[in-house]
Amino acid sequence: MLRYTLLRIVGAIPTLLLVIALAFLMVHAAPGGPFDDERALPAEVEANIAAAYHLDEPLPKQFVRYVSGLLRGDLGPSYRYVDYSVNELIATAFPYSLRIGALAMALALLIGVSAGTLAALRQGTALDRVVMGFSMTGISIPVFVVAPVLVLLLAVKLQWLPAGWSETGGAGRYILPVVTLALPQIAYIARLTRASMIDVLGRDFIRTAHAQGLGTATIIRVHALKPAMLPVLSYMGPAIAAILTGSVVVEEIFGIPGLGQFFVRGALNRDYTLVLGIVVFYATLIIALNLVVDILYGAIDPRVRYR
Amino acid sequence: MSGNRTVKVTGTFLLAITVAALVGPWISPNDYVTTNLDQILVSPSVSGMHWFGTDGLGRDLFVRTMHGIRVTMLVAVVASLVSLVIGVAYGAIAGFVGGRVDAVMMRLVDTLYALPFIFFVILLMVVFERNFFLIFVAIGAINWLDMARIVRGQTLSLREREFVEAARLTGVSTARIVFRHIAPNLMGIVIVYVTLTIPQAILVESFLSFLGLGVQEPQTSLGALVDAGVNQMERASFALLIPATLLALILMCFNFLGDGLRDYFDARQSP
Amino acid sequence: MNTIRLIALLFLLALGAACGTDDDSAEPRDTLQRGIPTDPETLDQHKARTIQAADVQRDLGEGLVGYSAVGELVPAAATSWDVSEDGLTYTFHLREGAKWSNGDPVVAAHFVASVERLVDPDTAAFYAQFLSDIAAIEAADDLTLVMTLAQPTPYLLSLLTHPATFPIHTPSVKELGDGFARPGKLVSNGAYVLDAWIPGSVISLRRNEHYWNDASTSIDKVNYHVLVQDSSELNRYRAGQLHITSTVPPDSFAQVQAELGDQLHVAPYLGVYYYGFNLSKPPFKDNPGLRQALSMAIDREQLTAKVTGRGEVPAYSWVPPGTHDYEPPALSYSAMTQAERNQVARNLYKAAGYSDDNPLRFELRYNTSNTQGRVAAAIQNMWKEALGAEATLVNEEFQVLLSNIRGREITQVFRSSWIGDYNDAHTFLKILESDNPANSPGYASDEFDSLMQRAAEQTDLDARRLYLEEAERVMLADHPTIPIYFYLSRHLVSTEIEGWGDNVLDYHYSQHLSFKAAQ
């Protein structure tokens, strides 16, 4: 187990370096720099600023400088937010993305697994079709269509929920963003669970349990749920990535000061270090989370463990 | 079999939409560029000049929507083909060669699979300034991983089948085996996944349009129309509802179609 | 069993994390909630350059001179000033008893240090050229500041309201260096102190009790909410979470006017929206007739009435009307009907060698935004219909566009704008001087430059005005740019707020505002 973990970690490093190099090149290849403005700078001032941020050095040198900073855990200064370093910005913004993302994931699992199980138990009935129909709609309608419509209805017209993010809004302000973000994942997880549960319920050991007189609820709880969860578990990796992706849209729409919003703004403003910092941060996070998922998978499914 | 019926229904709908998108602009008296500042946000009327109404600049929404469908479908299909080519090539090679090469290639896929590609797409769009061609490439670059995995799995299992053994024994070259024997058997699975990749591509393109990074004015796509519609939501809800509904329907049809095709091919393959 | 427990546990944990760190209390009534479209890039007044930074800084700091709620110059850190006969020496008498937020007295040396830091090349300050006319500045004593100018600068007082000229607390800068402007560290001499700043979310200010005029500051706390999307800002206002918005979304304007008309404040704003030509390359190089044709073919009235739709004023001059002590001249065709303009434009177009068989083809660049796209598409159509000219639309991000404009290589016609830094025609005309870095079209006219120079030498205000107006007349005839419309400021101000004054610079100090007494 330990060896497996260590091997995976070591294996991830080259990928990480590749990701960083790629992002670095793309960001610096983009036309337009971070200091362009309508109020044009006189030439000497521009030169001074470029020197202060090492932008006048050749690209490879800048890259080496950046990576050595990374090794010290320093993601550099932000070009756009002059008073803040990238570390500070990420530290401020990440908790928002984390809370919304974690809530959405938990909600998606809760509802998705329940709905999928229900559909599997009632396979072929109207309930099954309804659940599957809803889940299909969840995948199909884009977030940036659903979100503004919901805001208009529930927040502005009915005033049931807050119109957007605010620092002191209480628990209510989470509802719309979390639900919007969770919707596509609920759909995917419901479908996965249904298919997997149908498969598991058809197996011999379940029939044995039936024959022994155990009730449906007990069978599911004790015997069927764990093996049925395996495909859902292996979907967790891409699910987390999907939630991160979705958070970019949701944060943009609801005005949540999370990492997704900072990323898009940073890309548009050519805030090189912020953009790179967020890419590095997310890449590390996801690789780590995937590792956790793999270990969990190994813990649940003994067949996988011994490689 | 319900699978078959789903395929028929969704397939017909998609075909109908495509035909409408191609033919529509011909039969309408309007074009998609001409602005008319006296006719801003006119409501739709089937008997009048503007069947779907007009947008914020007085342009006919029916023709613009049809154009939007064309662009959206084009981007989605081409992007899916790009990811198809990359994914199949990658997966087939990994699956067929096997061993260490396969392990390395799949490890790469596993790690890349988890990265938020949307970030790279945004960066790509920002770097290359919305070059129309690059939209396809960028979107295609996100989706090839799924394809690669599936194709590799299929190739692995096909490799062990008797007819491949026979071909090898009779001295047929590796390349020939891959192209003449393995590839045709991948068709089924590949078709299914292309149909499922298309909606993802459409969603990415819509999101890029929402950020303002999609197609350029006066060109439009369904995503761009929805974005414009969101801004007009209160004054003219039809400007949002029409493209949004069409977008949702197209996406649902592709999803259902993919599912139906998958059922169909599964049924064919099981013993 | 375990799996269900695990999931439930996850959910509860997440929920707990969400709720645990929140403050569920409703907003206290003594806090003003304002919207701001983006974060200031910094609150260091010398490194800042955006309007948003200046807005927040105006609440935090105070310069020698200030503005009243309706836009009149009033004494601020200086109680009075004397100007010498030749207009070159200004002596400011500082207010006695004025203090920084930590209790230290405000003295002349702080102003001197600020100007020195502003022009120091190591600071790389944006507005370094702002005070380029100041030849010398010194503190005669703690409360007397003497400025010597290179040229009579009639708009000096207006300049001195800008945050770049605010004093700095020298001990802070000495101790903290460039980090002196962070929350908790920033020592300010204005009505408010910086409490907290969560980037992307909110900037919180609280009352500065050491401010000399604290007794007349009514509101205790101010929150600037960073709301990038104007539609989000409008939603929050409607939901009662904001008292003041920074703008009104164009697509909702008509509705806002109908529903919230009594809270809507629209006022002329010192800014011009224009299309610029790249004068260093064909087809617009050395081709004033063609440029004029393109300008005349735009139906500004239709554009502002139907496309931008918020009541903007069509621009037939460069300097906006309402600028202090100035009568803008008008383009020769301002009084014609659009049909007449199109006729003349067509003739000019033909004279330049273009026709239906040989149409003019060029690129129009603008920054990515819904509104810009609509305007560009509308104008593209106008050019097509009136002249047959074919413009291709190219949209780019703001930074990219600026960089391209600066480069003068690939641009042909581009969208741009200029907001006045102070209330004087000079701020608009100076950017078309041939050596000014903000000269986007690359306009270089000896006649214009010399008229501007003559204006700068005048001590008599009327004479100066005449020179400036003549300079503008010359520039307009050359058509280096196409002025399209003049900006308006638009705000929604809640009926709970009193003291709001519309003014042409769109400065709204929080210290002038108060909550209406509860009924």
pLDDT of residue B1: 43
Question: Could you say which of A22, A240, A248 has the minimum Cβ distance to residue B118?
Answer: A248
Lowest average pLDDT, out of B185-189, B195-199, C359-363, C388-392, goes to: B185-189
For C377, which residue in chain B has the nearest alpha carbon?
B218
Report the C-alpha gap between C490 and B31 in whole angstroms.
Answer: 35
Burial status of residue C240 (CB atoms within 10 A of its CB: 0-12, 13-18, 19 or more)? middle
Pairing of strands C89-94, C78-83: antiparallel
* Residue A23 in contact with partner chain B when CB distance is under 8 A: yes
Report the C-alpha gap between B193 and B110 in whole angstroms.
Answer: 18
Give the residue, A35 or C468, on which the prediction is more confident: C468
CA distances from C97 to A37, C138, C188, C209 (A): 39, 20, 15, 13
Residues from chain B contacting residue A124 (CB–CB below 8 Å):
none
Residues from chain B contacting residue C231 (CB–CB below 8 Å):
230-231
A143: Cβ–Cβ under 8 A, 6 or more apart, which residues? A180, A181, A183, A184, A246, A249, A250, A253
Q: How confident is the model at residue A6 (pLDDT cuts 50, 70, 90)?
A: confident
Per DSSP (E only), the strands in chain B are none
Residues from chain A contacting residue B230 (CB–CB below 8 Å):
144-145, 148
Give the residue, A245 or C77, on which the prediction is more confident: C77
pLDDT of residue B245: 86
* Residue C238 in contact with partner chain A when CB distance is under 8 A: yes
pLDDT of residue B40: 76
Please tell me which of A8-17, A144-153, B218-227 the model is most confident about, judged by mean pLDDT: B218-227
* Residue C249 in contact with partner chain B when CB distance is under 8 A: yes
Q: Do B114 and A15 touch (CB under 8 A)?
A: no
* Residue A290 in contact with partner chain B when CB distance is under 8 A: yes
Strand order in the sheet with C134-141: C78-83, C89-94, C144-149, C134-141
Beta bridge partners of C147: C90, C137
For A148, which residue in chain B has the nearest alpha carbon?
B230
pLDDT of residue B97: 78
Report the C-alpha gap between C503 and C322 in whole angstroms.
Answer: 10
Q: Do C129 and A162 touch (CB under 8 A)?
A: no
Asked whether the whole model's pTM tops 0.80, one would answer yes
Give the residue, B185 or C410, on which the prediction is more confident: C410
Q: Which domain does B72 fall in, by range?
A: 2-269
| Chains linked to A by 3 or more Cβ pairs within 8 Å | B, C
Provide the CA A305 distance to its chain's centre, in angstroms. 27
Instruction: Kindly report the length of chain A.
Output: 307
Give the residue, C295 or A253, on which the prediction is more confident: C295
pLDDT < 50 positions in chain C:
1, 20-27
Q: What CATH number is attached to the domain comprising B248?
A: 1.10.3720.10
- Residues 103-142 on C with a CB inside 8 Å of A are 121-122, 124-129
H helix or E strand, kind and range, residue C80: strand C78-83
Residues from chain A contacting residue B108 (CB–CB below 8 Å):
15
pLDDT of residue A188: 84
Phi, psi of C207 (to 5 degrees): -55, 135
* SS3 of residue B267 by DSSP: helix
- Answer for the pair A56, A225: CB distance below 8 angstroms, yes or no: no
* Residue B217 in contact with partner chain C when CB distance is under 8 A: yes
Lowest average pLDDT, out of A197-211, B172-186, C26-40, goes to: B172-186
Classify residue B28 as left (phi > 0), alpha (psi -120 to 50) or beta: beta
pLDDT of residue C25: 40
* Residue C369 in contact with partner chain B when CB distance is under 8 A: yes
pLDDT of residue B267: 63
pLDDT of residue B116: 66
Phi, psi of C224 (to 5 degrees): -95, 115
Give the residue, A65 or C109, on which the prediction is more confident: C109
Question: Could you say which of A81, A105, A225 has the minimum Cβ distance to residue C3?
Answer: A225
Q: Do A237 and B113 touch (CB under 8 A)?
A: yes
Provide the CA A50 distance to its chain's centre, in angstroms. 35
Question: Could you say which of B110, B226, B248 has the minimum Cβ distance to residue A140?
Answer: B248
Q: Do B203 and A142 touch (CB under 8 A)?
A: yes
pLDDT of residue C145: 93
For A124, which residue in chain B has the nearest alpha carbon?
B2
pLDDT of residue A307: 44
pLDDT of residue C446: 93
Residues from chain B contacting residue A141 (CB–CB below 8 Å):
244, 247-248, 251
Over residues A239-260, the mean pLDDT reads: 83
Q: How confident is the model at residue B59 (pLDDT cuts 50, 70, 90)?
A: confident
> What ipTM was reported for this prediction?
0.78
Q: Do B124 and A26 touch (CB under 8 A)?
A: yes
Q: Do C15 and A99 touch (CB under 8 A)?
A: no
Q: Do A31 and C400 touch (CB under 8 A)?
A: yes
Q: Do B218 and C370 touch (CB under 8 A)?
A: no
* Residue C14 in contact with partner chain A when CB distance is under 8 A: yes
pLDDT of residue A36: 67
H helix or E strand, kind and range, residue C272: strand C264-277
Over residues A135-169, the pLDDT tens digits come to 878 777 777 778 877 777 777 677 777 766 766 66
> Among positive and negative, which fits the CA dihedral A182, A183, A185, A187?
positive
* Residue A145 in contact with partner chain B when CB distance is under 8 A: yes
Give the residue, C143 or A14, on which the prediction is more confident: C143
A19: Cβ–Cβ under 8 A, 6 or more apart, which residues? A279, A280, A283, B115
DSSP assignment string, A159-221:
--S-SS--TT--GGGGHHHHHHHHHHHHHHHHHHHHHHHHHHHTSHHHHHHHHTT--HHHIII
Q: How confident is the model at residue B270 (pLDDT cuts 50, 70, 90)?
A: very low
Q: Do C378 and B235 touch (CB under 8 A)?
A: no
Over residues B92-105, the mean pLDDT reads: 80
Domain count, chain B: 1
Question: Could you say which of A40, A170, A221 has the minimum Cβ distance to residue C438?
Answer: A40
Q: Do C228 and A265 touch (CB under 8 A)?
A: yes
How many CB contacts within 8 angstroms connect chain A with chain B?
106
Which of C418, C414, C419 has the alpha carbon at shortest distance from C402? C414
